[in-house]
Amino acid sequence: MKDANMCCGGGGSFQFDFPKVSKGITENKVKNILETEASVVVTGCPGCRVTIRGNMSDSDNISVLHPIQLLDRALSEESHAEDIKP
């Protein structure tokens, strides 16, 4: 993803102290995420998850997950795949 290492714009109280700057940063982050056409974005930062998800529409159809949630999904899919083997 373009600028994957860049801030989401939340930055704790940054979004309250500098709302216009924060909004611009967040808009760029969401645009870059949408350009990937991925169905999942993963971050270990709870603030990033709230900021990113909160600035996406439901129609974007992108899950914003913690790495452990992604691992859980992957393991759950594996266990379900084993259930349907002949």
pLDDT (0 to 100) of residue 86: 45
pLDDT (0 to 100) of residue 85: 44
- pLDDT tens digits for range 46-75: 999 999 999 999 899 999 999 999 999 999
Mean pLDDT in residue range 74-84: 66
**pLDDT level of residue 84 (50, 70, 90 thresholds):** very low
pTM: 0.81
pLDDT (0 to 100) of residue 80: 55
In contact, 10 and 51? CB cutoff 8 Å: yes
**Closest C-alpha to 1, from 76, 62, 59, 46:** 62
In contact, 29 and 8? CB cutoff 8 Å: yes
